[in-house]
Amino acid sequence: PVEVKKICCIGAGYVGGPTCAVIPHIQVTIVDLNQQRIDAWNSDTLPIYEPGLDEVVKAARGKNLFFSTDVDKAIEEADLIFVSVNTPTKKSGIGAGFAADLKFLQLATRRIAEVAKSSKIVVEKSTVPCRTADAMRTILEANSKPGCHFDILSNPEFLAEGTAIEDLFGPDRVLIGSLQTEQGLSACQSLANVYANWVPRERILTVGLWSSELSKLAANAMLAQRISSVNALSAICEATGANIDEVAYAVGKDTRMGSKFLKASVGFGGSCFQKDILNLVYLSESLHLPEVAKYWRAVVEMNEYQKSRFANKVVNTLFNTITGKKIAILGWAFKKDTGDTRESPSITLANHFLTEKARIDIYDPQVTESQIWLDLTDYGDIPAEPIKPHVKISETVEEACKNAEAIVICTEWDEFKTLDWQKIYDNCPRPAFVFDGRLILDRKALTDIGFKVISIGTGDRI
């Protein structure tokens, strides 16, 4: 196998940045078309918030880690190129609302073919539909210079935001897919040798190209399915007097099941789950497997139901109207320990409350005010002026909760567990309602203070 001495990563996002920052010794250049993003990676304020990332980047930057907008130079110099660009859900055209938009991936692939003067290993790091590597190979081969050979590998990323650095230093597994030809297997070994610098060999799995691509969609679909299952059960709990945390605990004790990823919530968010399941739905439909498509689609539908069910519960509990009432939204990120808001359930809830003509006051420890406005206006598609009088963004929890008729926990930030709830209660009108969308609060302590606590998956029946 070729020894990888220089790596290029196309796409300096949530995946490209952290993934490459943990690679030791080997020279890595991460490139992006977005100058602002690259400037931020080269500054003291990195473009993304991720625990432990600052330290890792600062230790390697300028030594073996470089950030640049000179895409062509980095491609030319590299032996191995990670393609880690965004693959969002298509907004228009064939497959709109379901299929992955592969335009960024194809542009990057074309650029590689046009610029490369020597053979390269090209690694699909982005999450893509099954058989995308085939299209990449056709593009590369049709546009390459004589004597240039390209090997294509699939190496999907399994990191979760908020724990990315931990996940990258100690992954459950690294998955590499290649064609089962001599050339393909050799390229696969070259990449495996890169990971072997810090990942135990037995955790580096090598499989066929198509299995690798599909495994990524499968893993995300099955993880999301667990959440939708537990959220579906949470509705039954609310109606019966069962408690979802107790049910999840009992179910998770079965070693065949395991205890992780069974936390009921206001719904899952993030840039991956919904997008990747819809991608799988589209793939199934394209393969004339409508029953399979229907099965996976239900996971997303259950998630939508959970979000609207929770929003409706707020309205119903506040005596069927929230018009003109102040509602505090605690947490805007899609989960704790990230500043990422993509597909955050908070956005859906805020829109629901605004439609009901409530006033909302938002607090999040990591999300910027400008990002919240981008989310509320769907990146400029919805005019801001009409909603401005109904939206406030606060610097502290206390300010957001002051005079609120309902406090809604949307993100499980640790700091919400240790708030001075008595002080917050003293500044709220009565009855003071707290809606725990993440099951993080001490229900009894808050009830003792005087709050009416409404939690996912816990009903009033005794």
Residues designated as active site? 272
Can you read off the two tokens belonging to residue 40? 């931020």
Report whether 116 contacts 75 (CB < 8 A): yes
Q: Where do the H-state alpha helices sit in 241-289?
A: 244-252, 273-286
Nearer to ligand NAD among residue 2 and residue 219 (C-beta): 219
Residue nearest ligand NAD, Cβ-based:
13
Nearer to ligand NAD among residue 85 and residue 424 (C-beta): 85
Residue ranges that bind ligand NAD, judged by CB under 6 A: 10-16, 31-34, 37, 71, 84-87, 104, 107-108, 126-127, 157, 159, 161, 271-272
Stretch that binds ligand UDX, among 72-80, 82-90, 151-159, 350-358 (CB under 6 A): 151-159
- Rounded to whole angstroms, how far apart are CA atoms 180 and 175? 15
* Full DSSP string of 19-81: HHHT--SSEEEEE-S-HHHHHHHTSSS-SS--TTHHHHHHHHBTTTEEEES-HHHHHHH-SEE
CB neighbour list of residue 177: distance below 8 Å, 6 or more residues apart: 133, 153, 154, 155, 188, 206, 207, 208, 209, 210, 211, 212, 213, 215
Count of residues binding ligand UDX (CB under 6 A)? 19
For the segment 392-431, give every residue that binds ligand UDX (CB under 6 A): none
Of 261, 295, 305, 373, the residue at the interface with ligand UDX (CB under 6 A) is 261
Contact track, ligand UDX, 175-204, x by CB under 6 A: ------------------------------
245 lies in the site for ligand UDX, by CB under 6 A:
no
305 lies in the site for ligand UDX, by CB under 6 A:
no
- Rounded to whole angstroms, how far apart are CA atoms 87 and 98? 12
Closest CA to 318 of 421, 430, 416: 430
90 lies in the site for ligand UDX, by CB under 6 A:
no
For the segment 272-291, give every residue that binds ligand UDX (CB under 6 A): 272-273
Report whether 433 contacts 401 (CB < 8 A): no
Of 120, 263, 307, 325, the residue at the interface with ligand UDX (CB under 6 A) is 263
335 lies in the site for ligand UDX, by CB under 6 A:
yes
Closest CA to 177 of 161, 153, 193: 153
Can you read off the two tokens belonging to residue 9? 């990563």
262 touches which of ligand UDX, ligand NAD, none (CB within 5 to 8 A by kind)? ligand UDX
Q: In the complex, what is the shortest distance from the CB of residue 19 to ligand UDX, in angstroms, rounded to a whole number?
A: 11
DSSP 8-state secondary structure symbol assigned to residue 395: S
Q: In the complex, what is the shortest distance from the CB of residue 341 to ligand UDX, in angstroms, rounded to a whole number?
A: 11
Closest CA to 271 of 364, 123, 380, 159: 159
Query: Where does this chain bind ligand UDX (CB under 6 A)?
Result: 157-161, 220, 223, 227, 261-263, 265, 268-270, 272-273, 334-335
